Structure 1
Amino acid sequence: MEAKSVARYVRISSQKARLVAANVRGKNIEEARKILKFTPKKAAAVLDKILHSAIANAEQLGGVDVDTLYVKNIIINDGPTWKRIRPRAMGRAYRILKRTSHITIIVEEA
């Protein structure tokens, strides 16, 4: 049995989130939550919240032993980019790109 959780339009760059996701992929959920708890990056808190949701989704399926779950896959795709303008000297304007991500976590019984 596998369960998944999806968070869309998360306000973090997908490149930065993938760095943290690589540390957790393939681990059992207890170990993954410990790693995310002590990782000092914004993406760690976001991924922990989504992982918690995936675990709750697995519990709702029935017949799933939560202690045997592991992180099967983490998929992080680019979301839409917000374009903002920053005023600069002599009337110029520079573009600021505020990137978003779509994050999917899939957990499965070992």
Structure 2
Amino acid sequence: MEVRAQARYVRVSPRKARIVVDLVRGKSVAQAQEILRFTNRGIAETVEKVLNSAVANAEHNNHLRAESLVVKKAYVDEGPTMKRIRPRAKGSAARIRKRTSHITIVVAPREEA
């Protein structure tokens, strides 16, 4: 029984978010929460919220125990990019790309994962 949670349109580049998400893939929920709590990256707080949401979904909707859950899948997809213009020399312009991410975490009971 897989249970997932997703945070969409998070204002961080996917490359930066993947660094943090790679740390928790395959770990138990308690271990993943501890890693995220002490990771010195801004996006770690958001990833922890998504993980806690996935655990709450598993407990409430599927009546699973949090102690038996493992992070089965964790991945970051690229969201839409907001494009902005920055004035440059001689009347030209430079494009600024403000990237967004979709963070997905899937938890499952230990036997299934």
The equivalent of 2:55 in structure 1 is: 55
**Counterpart Cα distance in 2 of 1:76 and 1:62:** 25
Consecutive aligned runs of 4 or more in structure 1 exceeding 4 Å deviation: none
1:1-110 superposed matches below 5 A:
1-110=1-110
**Counterpart Cα distance in 2 of 1:64 and 1:52:** 14
Aligned length: 110
**Counterpart Cα distance in 1 of 2:52 and 2:104:** 12
TM-score (norm 2): 0.92
> How far is the alpha carbon of 1:62 from its aligned partner?
3.8
Give the letter aligned to residue 72 of structure 1.
K
**Counterpart Cα distance in 1 of 2:62 and 2:50:** 20
Identity %: 51
> How far is the alpha carbon of 1:89 from its aligned partner?
2.0
Q: Report the aligned-residue RMSD.
A: 1.0
Which runs of no fewer than 5 residues in structure 1 stay unpaired? none
What do residues 50-96 of structure 1 show as CA deviations (whole Å, max 9, x unaligned)? 00110110011243111111100012110000000111222221100
**Counterpart Cα distance in 2 of 1:91 and 1:46:** 39
Give the letter aligned to residue 80 of structure 1.
P
Q: Per the alignment, in what secondary structure is the counterpart of residue 104 of structure 1?
A: strand
What do residues 12-66 of structure 1 show as CA deviations (whole Å, max 9, x unaligned)? 1111111111111000011101111111112211100100110110011243111
**Counterpart Cα distance in 2 of 1:54 and 1:62:** 11
